[in-house]
Structures are given as structure tokens and as C-alpha cells.
Structure 1
Amino acid sequence: MSENDNLQDADGKIELNTTETPQNTEASQVAETSTSEEPKASEKTENTPEKETVSEEIKDEQAKVEKEVVSEDTTEEPLEETKDVTETVSESTKKADAHVEEIEESNAEDAEDETNAERHEVESKDYHAMSMEQLVDEFETLLSDKKIQTIKSQVDEIKSEFHSKFGELLDEKKEEFLSEGGNEIDFYFTTPVKKRFNDAYKTYRNNLNAYYKNLESNLKQNLENRLAIIEEIKGLINVEENINTTYKHFKDLQEQWRNAGPIPRDRYNNAWNSYHHHVEVFYDFLHLNRDLRDMDFKHNLDQKTKIIERAEELAKDDNINRAFRELQVLHKLWKEELGPVDREYREDIWERFSNATKTIHDKRQAYYADLDKAHEANLVKKEEIIAKIDEISQDQPKSHQAWQKKIKEIEALRQDFFNAGKVPIKVNDATWTKFKTAVRNFNRNKNAFYKSLKKDQYDNLNKKLELIKIAEDNKDSEDFETTTSLMKKIQADWKNIGHVPRKDSDKIWKQFKKACNHYFDRMHEEKNAASKEEMAAFEEKSALLETVKAIELTGKPEKDIETIKDQINAWKSIGHIPSNKRFIEGKFNKAIDALFGKLDMDKAKLDMIKFENKLETLSKPDDTRLLDNEQNYIRKKISEIKGEINQLENNMQFFSNVDETNPLVRDVIKNIKNHKDNLQTWKDKLRKVKSMY
């Protein structure tokens, strides 16, 4: 049977695996193959070195393998080559480059959970600029749409931002509570959105705990399975059986390894290094055909070249995060899916892959450096906003309107602060504390003002309650002329009193408005009813006026006087007319005076008749104001006439010859007589007025 026959399966086909490195059957070929596959201490191995040192457990396993290989192999040359392999792996592990370490750390983290790589696909938003309601909405969306293990960083950011915003609100409400005289031990405040957040976070913690509890058990079992597979691969070199059977057993173990599932991240790189090491040791002891080995080398070279080309394309991609995530996948393929290549290409292809990786790493570092600069710029903005808040806090207005303006300014600055973006992590807490302190200082000054304002408001409340009592006491008054002025006055007083506590404002206003409206509605109803009667009276007086104008006197004074008095009485009996129609009263009096003027009788007697008619017009039940005015006027006229008589009589003393033949003396005597006659008429009028009371 030839060497190739040993590789044939039941169907006569040759099985190839990308992790295999077939060897020649002769001992010299084993030595040659081993030499060609082992990386030098200065080379980067396909087993990408990890940041952490190899665990003690893995070191022990490797030491056992080396000891077993030395004790069971009788060929000195392969023993030396195997020793070099182990030393090379260890040396390569120690000399890991930073850009490769970053990839290895990320892949180790993803390896703990095969779905954990999905965390890169979960979008992180600007949670800092969101309101509490928006943060909870986003939290609930993540819980319903994403796997629980992929949203940790987003949840941590949402939690931090929510607690910061709610903490600020809580401080503000607490200060208001204390400023109103509340006891700190009695303070309690919550909101519906806080309850929603608590419920969402409880769900998140419960689901995450359940996930990790299950994952911990699986990771532990998967690690045990993988270590067992390594042990079996180690044992294959001691099995005395047909090489074809051993080879198939080895392939079966490789398949089991691929399907063994995720393991703890801190054991990932060690386990893979140990696995690759023992796979290479197994190949060193296989007596396989060199052609198959070269075919495998060529396949691995082709695949790794494609990986390198894709990595070099990614190095030109401007989307840094996307390029880095795909680079992780390429490194995982390089490490987990592909085996070694021929020594003459090994250093070159690793150098190309490492250079592409470094380019992406450097671009990513530069990206984060720019991000840090942006965060520093955001810090400057936030410091300026805080300074403005401090400046506003130093000015303490004296009016409600001015404070409301300040409150709007602070609210705008708060929004600007939240929209300014993230700041460097190292100063995030300090900046937030400084911002809260500035806002808290403003709120304290504001609360102190409104606390003093509330005392004035309670005084205003008592004043307005007194006005309400006046309004309710007079709302049913029938004395519209007097009460209307009172009602208008208390309405003006209400406007001038000022603010009352908000909780009482609507209540007392409605009470006051109701009493006032009740009164004025009654007054307007009364006026509307009176207006109809007054318009009818006006129409009647208009007709009577035309009748008076058309009267023809008989020439008999007594009869004509009776006629005139009948018209006057008829006019008086008609009643009130609208105030804007009172001009007709003047027209009527003018018409009556014209009739009196046509009478042929003594002027003094006629004047007295007209005066008696006037008195009847002035006389009103329960209202003597018009008569009082008339009496005062008459008394004044009497006093004036007496003064004029005295003056004339005094003037008579200046004449040396008091003789009526003197024209001047005669005129003075005539004037004195006329004044005395006039005086008597006014005295008669005064007696008549007094008789009207």
C-alpha cells in the first residue's frame, strides 16, 4: 500500500482540512517538514499572540506534551525541532504587537459568546441630549429588539444619563419642598417615567442574570470539552494503529473542536495556542505524503492572501469602526480556520497582514484622538454655559416677571448643556457636579424669592376675600344707581391687589366673578325692561309736544292758565324717557313759556305761575335735592338784591340835594323800588319752595 492510499477514505477520495499540514513518512522528511513549519523566534506566528500570559494550566499541559514527546521519540532531530516549536510559540506570545493585541482582546471577548459580536451592530445614540422620557423609550426598545448580552454599553449610558437628569429634578423638587416649610425627613418624590425606568432596569438585570448563569455553565463545560479534545490529540502520537484510522480520528477531533462552542475569554487565546501547538506536533509525527502537505500549504496561502487583500482594502475605508469589526473577523479566520503556509512565505504574508492591521489600528487611534479633541471642545462649551448660569444666579430680580424671564434663560442654557455633547470621561462627573451646583444655586435664589412672594400672596388673598364678601352682600341690591358705583370700585380694587396663591387663584376669581355678574345681569335686565317703557313715554311726549305747539289761547287768562296747567300735568304723568332723549324736555318748556308769554296778565303774577309749575317739576318723592338746590339759588338771589338795594341807598347819601326833580335821584329811587318789588317776588318764591317740603 502506498503512502497516498493511507489517506483514502471509503470512497477513495482524499480528505483535506485547512488546519492540516501533511508530512512525509520518512524520519528525515519529518525533520525537514518540522523545520519548514516552525516559525523563528523573530517571526509572527499564525497563532496570533495574546496580551495575557499563558495560564498556568495551559503551561502545564504544554510541558506535559513536551515531556511525552521527548520520552517516546527515539529520533534526536525531531526532538530538537519539537522543542523549537514550543519555544517559538512562547517567544512569539511575549512579543505581541499592540495593534494585534487589540484585535486579540476583542476576539477573545467575542469568543466567550458566539453572538456577542452582535454588540457592534447595536447603535449607540447621543443619550446625553435625550430627555428622561426618550431615554426610557430607547431602553424599552433595546430590551424588546436586541439580545440581552449585546446592549450592556448602551444600557450603562442610558442608566447614567437618566440618573443624572432625575437627580437634578429631585434636587430641585426637594429644595421647593423645603422652601415651603416641609421637613426633609418627609420628602418623597417620584414620577411615572421613573417607575418605567425602574421596571425596565429590573427586567434587564433579571434577564441578564439568567443569561450569564446559563452562559457560565456552558462556558465551563465547553472549556472542559476543548481541553479533553487537546488531550486526545496529544494521545494520538502514542496510538499504535493504522495511520488511516488515526488520521480519521484526528479529523473527527478537529470537527469536534470547531463545534465545541464558546469558552471563557480569559482562556480563549491560551486554548487556541495549545490546540495549534499540539496539532503541529501531531503533523510532525504523521508519515504523510509531501504532495498533500504542499497542497494544503498552497490552499492556506491562497486563503490568507485573500484575507490580506481584504485587510488592505479595509485600511482604506473611512468608516473606522466598520473596518475594525471586519478586521476582527479576518483575524479570527486566520487564527481559527486556516493552517500554516510554507516557510518561505510565512514571514512575508504575516508582515503584510500585520501592516494592514497596524494601519487600521493607527487610523482608529487617530479617530479616537480626534474624538477626544471634540470632547475637549464640548468641555469648553459646557464650562462657558456653567459660567453663564453662575452669572445669572448673581442677579436677583424683584418681580415675578423678571424671575420668569430668568427661568426661561436658565432652561435654555440647561438644554444647551445637554446638547453640547460628551466631555472627556475623566472630567465627566466633575463637570456634571459643577453644572448641578450652578443650577441649584439659581433655584435656591428663585425659591427664596417666591417664598417671600407667597407671604404677600396670602395677604392679597385675604383682601380679595373681603371684596368677594362685599360683592355677594350687594349682588341682589335694588339700588342700582348707588350699587353700580360700588361694584365698579371693587372690580378696580381687585385688579390692583396683585397675585394670590396659585391653588386659590381660580377658585376665588370664579366666586368673585359670579357675584359681580349676578348683579350686573340683574341691572341690565332692569334697564332693558325700563328702556321699552321709556321709549314709549318718549313717543307719547313727542305727540303731546306737537299738541302744545298747536294750542290757540282764548284770551281769557284764567281759562288759558288752566289749559296750560293741564298740558303740564299731562306731560308730567307720562313718566321717564331715555336719558339720550331728554332734549325733548327743553322743547316742551320752551313751548310752555311761549304760551305763558301770550297771556295778558300781571308780569309778577305770571312769573309766579310759571315758578309754581317749575316747582311741581322739581318735586320728587323721597328726593329733595332739586328743591334744595332751588331754595339755595333763591336765597342767593335774595341776598344779591338786598346788597344792591343797600348800595343804592348808600349812594343816595352822596347827593347834596335829594330832590326827585333831579334826574339822577329820580333814577336811583326808581331802581330801589324795582329791586324791592323784585325782592318781594323772590321772597314769595322762597315761601313757595318751603311749602313744597
Structure 2
Amino acid sequence: MDSQENTLELGKNEEVVNEEVTSQVETTENSEPAAEQAEEQTRVVYETKADVLHRLQDIAHGEEVPQKDEVEYLKSSFYKLHVAEREAKLKAYLDAGGDPEQYQYTPDEQEEAFKAEMGIIKEKRAKVFKEQEAEKQENLTKKLAIIDRIKAMVTTPDEANKNYKEFKALQEQWREIKNVPADKANELWRNYQLYVEQFYDMLRLNSEAREYDFKKNLELKTALCEAAEKLADEEDVISAFHQLQKLHQEYREIGPVAKEQREEIWNRFKAASSVINKRHQQHFEGVRAKEEDNLARKTVLCEKVEAIAAEENKGSGDWEKHTKQIIDIQTEWKTIGFAPQKMNVKIFERFRAACDDFFGRKAAYFKGLKETFKENAEKKRALIEKAKELQSSTEWKSTSDKFIALQKEWKTIGMVPKKLGDQLWEEFLAACNTFFEARNAAGAGARGEERENLEKKLGIIEQLKALATETGEEVAEKVQKLVDEYNAVGHVPYKEKDKLYKEYHAVLDKLYKDLNISVAKRKLNNFKQNLKNVAERGENALDNERTRLFRQYENLKSEIQTYENNLGFLNASSKKGNSLIDEMNRKVQKLKDDMNLIREKIKAIDAENKQ
């Protein structure tokens, strides 16, 4: 091969190197971080701890190599479910009225099994890691040996054609050897490319052999282009991306093609790769947008829970209402996917802190409420004992008053738990019913008497109505006599009392008006008629009544004097002043009328005493 051919071959080898480097750079686009994100988004969502444990056991006892990301995800999923389960048990205990300080977490067999499987996986990963590192060191040693062998070939240019088959075999060996330590990979690759280029520089193959090599490489790269182009139809964007990385690795390992075809074949492969990379990028842009939307939705839920937790709870009803609202929000939270990785833990901690604050204060409230319930129950039991002591009494009037007082006191006592409250109320009601049923049975005869009294009073009312048509001085005397008869009649049925009262006073008021008897005079007449009843109370009853009336008389007299003094200071120059003076004069006149009535009552007592 002459110098021109050597120069041409060197140019070709330079383009080969450039092509390989470009391919290597293209392959590193969107590599590990994006792939990890993709795997995170396509993970299974576990519903129970048993599901997580089952998957963990498959990894621990199966042949597959434990992947760190999946193991960490399983751990996170297990403890998220584990914590939720513990919180649900605590909530159920508190809702049932349990004491938070007495609550104890029971050992969880699934958690112990989980820890045991994690220990096995940890040992398994450590073993795999050690084996992988050893394999990488071994691969490094093999590739260094290949470089040394090619380097030795470069030093013997006369034997280049002779060494060509061995050189191709070394290239094949290089491709079959996989991972080496990451810190050695780039330098190792540069050295390998350097000596490969030098070997091609000195290679003196005949034109036919070189064309055959280029043709074979073109066929291999064309097949890779076709495979890359088919990946555009792959539905799984992540899988397509990973397959593309493998194609790039294979492309790098294939030798050069003819100079006039190099740019064309590379552009075709690069164009197919761009389609996959673009889809991959768009996929993660969508994922990131969805995560931002999830973060916004979760932030809104945090604000809702914080607002509910800040509201005042005036009683159990408010606590239960707000509890339901927060549980509904927690249910909605579970339907929302991941937030961005940097914020996912922070937003969950914010949400959980607000929920913990609410449920912690609720537990404290119901603990205090439990003590209040206990006190209220003791008070109601005491009333039940009193009611049972009274239920056999035959002193109907006084005992009825006592039962009514007990019922009023019962209403003032606060709440107790519903089941216990119903039981206590039934006991109390049974004692009340026992007494009132006995009283009603004993009062059956009294009701007959009340009906007779009703008939008597209705007859007196009819007589009073008849007097309305009569005239003469004796009418007033007849009215007073009927009034006395009416007052002497006993009780009437309770349901008829109000109706009878209205009818009686309507007739009486009309008669008094027709007879021109003033209200004060009627009050005085009624007072005089009741004096005998007062005198029957005891020997000092009239004197006591006179003393009471005299004090009332003196108080009215003093009050009138105060009003009259105040009137002397008022200015009547304005309309408002005149109105105030008129009002005060009316009050003074009313007080004087009341004072005169009391004076007449005192005189009546004095006349009764003389008799």
C-alpha cells in the first residue's frame, strides 16, 4: 500500500474515531436519572402489607439480583401501610372511648417478618455487590491485556496483515467484556481507541479485503438503524429508551463503513435515536407537570386540614363533624399521585402534622369528656335512688312536686354515653311512672268531684250573665254573693281551668263596668272578703298583715316624695320636657292611688280587729 493509500486509510480511521465518540456522547443523553424517574413512575402500588412482604420474599429467596431502588420503594410502601394501620387502630380505640395513656401498640408479626427478609436481602446485595466489583476488576484486567496486545501489534507494522485476524478477534473479545470500574472506564476507552486507530494506520490490507470489511459493517449498522426506527412504535416509552441504549452500545462496537456512506448511515441512526429521545423527554415533561399538579392539589388539602384543625369545637358533635371532614380529605389524598421528589416528603409531613394535631387534641378532649360522663352518670344514679325512695309514697301533692323537681334537675345534668344514658333514663322513668300511675288511680274519684265543681261554676257564671239585664241597687249585692259562692267552689279539671277563668272574668268585668265599680274598689272588696281567711291562720295573722301593708304604705309615700322633688328640677320649656313631666305626673298619681288603696285596707283590718 503506497503513501497515498496510507494517508486515505488514516483519514478513514480518524472519522471512525469521531463517529465512535459522537455515538458515545449521544448515548449518554437522558441516561440514569431519567431512567430512575421512569422506573419510579411505573412501579406497582401495593394495597396491603402482605403484598409488599410477598414481593420482598420473592426477591430474598429468588434468583434475581435485588435492585436498590425497588427494595427502598418496598420498604417505604410497607411502613406507610404499617403506620396507617396503627393510626386506624388508635383512632378506633379512641372513638370507642378508650384512654390514650392506656393504649399500647401490639407486636406485629408481619413487621418482624419484613425485617427478617430485609436482612436476607441486605446480605444478598452485599454479596452481589462484592461479586460485581470483583467481576469489574477482572474485566478491567482483561481489557488492559487486550490493549497491551494491540499496542504490541502496533510496534510490528510489518506483521499488520498477519495480525489482522487476531486484531478482529481481540475487538470481538473487547465487545463481549462488559462493565469495568467507573473511574477507569473513560481512560480505558481512550487508550483502546488510540491503539485501534494506530493499528488501522499501519494496516496494509488489499482493497478487496477492506471493502468487504466496510460492507459487513454497513450491513450490521443498517440492521441497527432499522431496529432503532421500529422503536418509534413501541408503546412503552421507557422500555424503548432502554433498548435504544443497548443499540448504541452495539453501534459503538461495530467497525467503520466506507467513507462515502459514513455520514449517511450515522445520520439515519441518529435521526431514529432523536425520535426515541424526544418521546422520552416529552414523557418526563408530562410526568413533571403531573407531579406539580399533584403538589398543588396536596397543598390545597393541607390548607383544608389546617383550617379545620384551627376551628373551635364546642362539643362532641363538632369533633365528629370535623373528624369526618378530615377522613374524607385523607381518602382524597390517597387518590393523588406523587409530588416532585424534593417536595414529596415535605408535603406529606405537613399534611400528617395537621392531622396529628387535630386527632391529638380530640383524644385529649374525649379523655376529659370521659371524666365528665362519669360524674354525670353518678349524679343521675343519685336521682334514680331518690325517685325509687319516693315511688311508693301516697302523699300525692308533695311527692308530685318532689318528682317534678327531680325531673327538672335531671334535665340540668349533662350528657353520658348513649347506651348508658338510655339505661339510666329507663330506670328513672320507671320510678316516676310507678308513682304517677298510683296517683292517677287514687285520683280517679277526685276527678269526678272536679267535674261537679265545673258544673257548679258554670251555673254561677250563667246566673251572673242573667244579672247583666237587671237594674237596681240590689244587683251589686247579688253579684258579690255569687262571687263569694264561686270562690267557695273547689278545683275543676285542669284542662278546663283556663277556659273557665276567661269566661268568668269576662262576665264579671262587664258587670263591674255596668255597675260602675272601680278596680280599686273591687280589690278592696276582695281584700275585705279574704280577711276572715287571714284571721283563721292564727292570732297574729291580721297584725302581721297590717304591718306588711304599713311598710308598703311608707315605701309608696317615700317614692311619691322622690318623684315630686324631681319634678321641681325639670324644665318644661321644650316639647320633650313637657312629655317627661306628664309621664312623671301619671306615675305619681298611680302611686297615690295605690297608697290610698293600702290605707283603706289598713282601715278594714282595724275594723275587723274591733269586731
> How does the TM-score come out when normalised to structure 2?
0.55
Which AA in structure 2 matches 1:390? Answer: E
Q: Does 1:450 align with 2:373?
A: no
Q: In the alignment, what sits opposite 1:376?
A: 292
Mapping 1:202-351, distance limit 5 Å = 202-239=119-156, 246-315=163-232, 317-336=234-253, 338-351=254-267
Mapping 1:32-431, distance limit 5 Å = 32-39=8-15, 44-48=18-22, 50=24, 96=25, 99-102=26-29, 105=31, 124-125=42-43, 127=45, 130=47, 132=49, 134-143=51-60, 147-150=64-67, 152-163=68-79, 166=82, 182=101, 191-239=108-156, 246-315=163-232, 317-336=234-253, 338-400=254-316, 402-431=318-347
The 1:391/1:324 distance shift into structure 2, 3 A limit, reads same
Q: In the alignment, what sits opposite 1:29?
A: 5
SS in 1 for 2:7: helix
8 A contact 1:46–1:340 mirrored in 2: no
The 1:126/1:261 distance shift into structure 2, 3 A limit, reads closer
8 A contact 2:60–2:124 mirrored in 1: no
Q: Please state how far the C-alpha of 1:244 moved relative to its aligned partner.
A: 6.8
**2:321 and 2:369 mapped to 1: Cα distance?**
16
SS in 2 for 1:102: coil
Which AA in structure 1 matches 2:154? Answer: I
The 1:466/1:148 distance shift into structure 2, 3 A limit, reads farther
The 1:189/1:467 distance shift into structure 2, 3 A limit, reads farther
Q: Please state how far the C-alpha of 1:198 moved relative to its aligned partner.
A: 2.5
The 1:468/1:327 distance shift into structure 2, 3 A limit, reads farther
**2:163 and 2:44 mapped to 1: Cα distance?**
58
**1:302 and 1:158 mapped to 2: Cα distance?**
45
The 1:122/1:389 distance shift into structure 2, 3 A limit, reads closer
SS in 1 for 2:15: coil
8 A contact 2:161–2:205 mirrored in 1: no
The 1:389/1:139 distance shift into structure 2, 3 A limit, reads farther
The 1:410/1:137 distance shift into structure 2, 3 A limit, reads farther
8 A contact 1:375–1:424 mirrored in 2: yes
Which AA in structure 2 matches 1:275? Answer: Y
The 1:346/1:248 distance shift into structure 2, 3 A limit, reads closer
**1:254 and 1:189 mapped to 2: Cα distance?**
63
Name stretches of at least 5 consecutive residues in structure 2 with no aligned partner: 387-391, 393-405, 428-440, 450-611
**2:111 and 2:385 mapped to 1: Cα distance?**
46
The 1:282/1:417 distance shift into structure 2, 3 A limit, reads same
Q: Deviations over 1:48-86 (max 9, x none)?
A: 465xxxxxxxxxxxxxxxxxxxxxxxxxxxxxxxxxxxx
Q: Please state how far the C-alpha of 1:308 moved relative to its aligned partner.
A: 1.8
SS in 1 for 2:279: helix
The 1:312/1:266 distance shift into structure 2, 3 A limit, reads farther
Q: Please state how far the C-alpha of 1:340 moved relative to its aligned partner.
A: 0.8
SS in 2 for 1:297: helix
Bigger relative contact order, structure 1 or 2, given CA contacts below 8 A and separation 6+? 1
Q: In the alignment, what sits opposite 2:561?
A: none
8 A contact 1:46–1:350 mirrored in 2: no
Which AA in structure 2 matches 1:45? Answer: E
Name stretches of at least 5 consecutive residues in structure 1 with no aligned partner: 1-23, 51-95, 110-116, 471-478, 480-488, 517-624, 634-693
Q: Deviations over 1:543-579 (max 9, x none)?
A: xxxxxxxxxxxxxxxxxxxxxxxxxxxxxxxxxxxxx
8 A contact 2:53–2:114 mirrored in 1: yes
SS in 1 for 2:145: helix
Q: Deviations over 1:199-224 (max 9, x none)?
A: 33323222111110121122112212
8 A contact 1:378–1:422 mirrored in 2: yes
CA-atom RMSD, angstroms?
5.0
8 A contact 1:47–1:276 mirrored in 2: no
Mapping 1:519-530, distance limit 5 Å = none
- Identity rate, percent: 28
**1:144 and 1:121 mapped to 2: Cα distance?**
23
Q: Please state how far the C-alpha of 1:247 moved relative to its aligned partner.
A: 3.5
Which AA in structure 2 matches 1:32? Answer: L
**1:213 and 1:466 mapped to 2: Cα distance?**
78
8 A contact 2:160–2:202 mirrored in 1: no
8 A contact 1:132–1:166 mirrored in 2: yes
**1:384 and 1:120 mapped to 2: Cα distance?**
27
> How does the TM-score come out when normalised to structure 1?
0.50
SS in 1 for 2:180: coil
The 1:247/1:349 distance shift into structure 2, 3 A limit, reads closer
**1:426 and 1:233 mapped to 2: Cα distance?**
49
Which AA in structure 2 matches 1:353? Answer: F
SS in 1 for 2:256: coil
**1:190 and 1:428 mapped to 2: Cα distance?**
29
The 1:232/1:130 distance shift into structure 2, 3 A limit, reads same
- Structure 1 residues 315-324 or 219-228, which shifts more? 315-324
Q: Please state how far the C-alpha of 1:417 moved relative to its aligned partner.
A: 0.8
**1:377 and 1:362 mapped to 2: Cα distance?**
22
Q: Please state how far the C-alpha of 1:301 moved relative to its aligned partner.
A: 1.2
8 A contact 2:237–2:280 mirrored in 1: yes
The 1:372/1:273 distance shift into structure 2, 3 A limit, reads same
**1:170 and 1:367 mapped to 2: Cα distance?**
37
**1:225 and 1:119 mapped to 2: Cα distance?**
34
Q: Please state how far the C-alpha of 1:188 moved relative to its aligned partner.
A: 6.9
Mapping 1:631-650, distance limit 5 Å = none
Which AA in structure 2 matches 1:385? Answer: L
Which AA in structure 2 matches 1:414? Answer: Q
**1:440 and 1:257 mapped to 2: Cα distance?**
60
Q: Deviations over 1:347-383 (max 9, x none)?
A: 2222222232223222221221111111111122212
Q: In the alignment, what sits opposite 2:572?
A: none
8 A contact 2:225–2:269 mirrored in 1: yes
Q: Deviations over 1:385-434 (max 9, x none)?
A: 22222232234445545534433332221121122111112222221121
8 A contact 2:301–2:333 mirrored in 1: yes
**2:85 and 2:364 mapped to 1: Cα distance?**
18
8 A contact 2:225–2:268 mirrored in 1: yes
Q: Please state how far the C-alpha of 1:293 moved relative to its aligned partner.
A: 1.1
**1:219 and 1:469 mapped to 2: Cα distance?**
89
Q: Please state how far the C-alpha of 1:435 moved relative to its aligned partner.
A: 0.5
Q: Deviations over 1:287-329 (max 9, x none)?
A: 3222111111011112212222332332454532122122112
8 A contact 1:49–1:269 mirrored in 2: no
